[in-house]
Amino acid sequence: MHSFKITPFRPDALSLTALLDLCFGPGRLARTAERLREGNVAVADYDFCAHDEQGLLIGSIGFWPIYIGEAPALLLGPLAVHPDHQGRGIGEQLMQTALQAVEETRFPVVLLVGDLPYYERVGFQVAPTDVRLPGPVDPSRLLVKGASADCAKLTGLVRPAPDLC
């Protein structure tokens, strides 16, 4: 069995770009979630990476400050695991580690675009229909995590919030 190590820092830009390109392809920068990263600043305290036994980058998770309407929140993503290492629990471990680090008083809600069957394992649910992204997205893939009361009252346009860093 191959082992991996989760570390609380961002890899060098070239390694991260190569991993993201491999996992998501050349169209990744055209996705709606990318509009929320443009002109925004990642919350470095919540960035984590996974490395294999040789120290090679095999996974990464990042978070970006956003507003959902007027409510402060975080955008999770991208979450990437090298295709050769998928199915080993690396993505779930990255999420659990990173979500435990999030200051819930500062960011009570985390939002992402993804597949519910995968992300519900760590507590995500489909976002209220009044939550809107600045571009097209399948509403069944717009997911939130937080206290039920916080999530139920979410409404409005999601936009970058670099001022929250």
**In whole angstroms, what is the distance from residue 165 CA to residue 156 CA?**
21
The answer on pLDDT for 3 being more than 90 is: no
The answer on pLDDT for 11 being more than 70 is: no
- Give pLDDT, residue 10: 67
Bridging pattern class, strands 57-68 and 5-7: unpaired
List strand residue ranges (DSSP E) for the chain, in order: 5-7, 48-51, 57-68, 71-81, 109-113, 125-126, 131-132, 142-146, 156-160
125 near 143, Cβ under 8 Å? yes
- Give pLDDT, residue 162: 94
- Give pLDDT, residue 29: 64
The SS3 of residue 3 is coil
Bridging pattern class, strands 5-7 and 48-51: antiparallel
The answer on pLDDT for 8 being more than 70 is: yes
Q: Is the dihedral of CA 143, 149, 153, 156 positive or negative?
A: negative
- Give pLDDT, residue 43: 94
The answer on pLDDT for 9 being more than 90 is: no
pLDDT tens track for 22-43: 888 877 766 788 889 999 999 9
pLDDT tens track for 73-115: 999 989 999 999 999 999 999 999 999 999 999 999 999 999 9
Tokens representing 122?
A: 């760590």
Return the residue matching tokens 């039920």: 148
Q: What does CATH list as the number for 5-164?
A: 3.40.630.30
Tokens representing 74?
A: 């975080």
Based on its alpha-carbon atoms, the radius of gyration of the chain, rounded to whole angstroms, reads 15
C-alpha pair distances (Å), 106 with each of 45, 52, 55, 102: 13, 32, 33, 8
- Give pLDDT, residue 116: 97
- Residue predicted with more confidence, 160 or 9: 160
Average pLDDT of the chain to the nearest whole number: 91
- Give pLDDT, residue 148: 79
**In whole angstroms, what is the distance from residue 93 CA to residue 148 CA?**
23
Across the range 112-129, mean pLDDT stands at: 95
- Give pLDDT, residue 109: 96
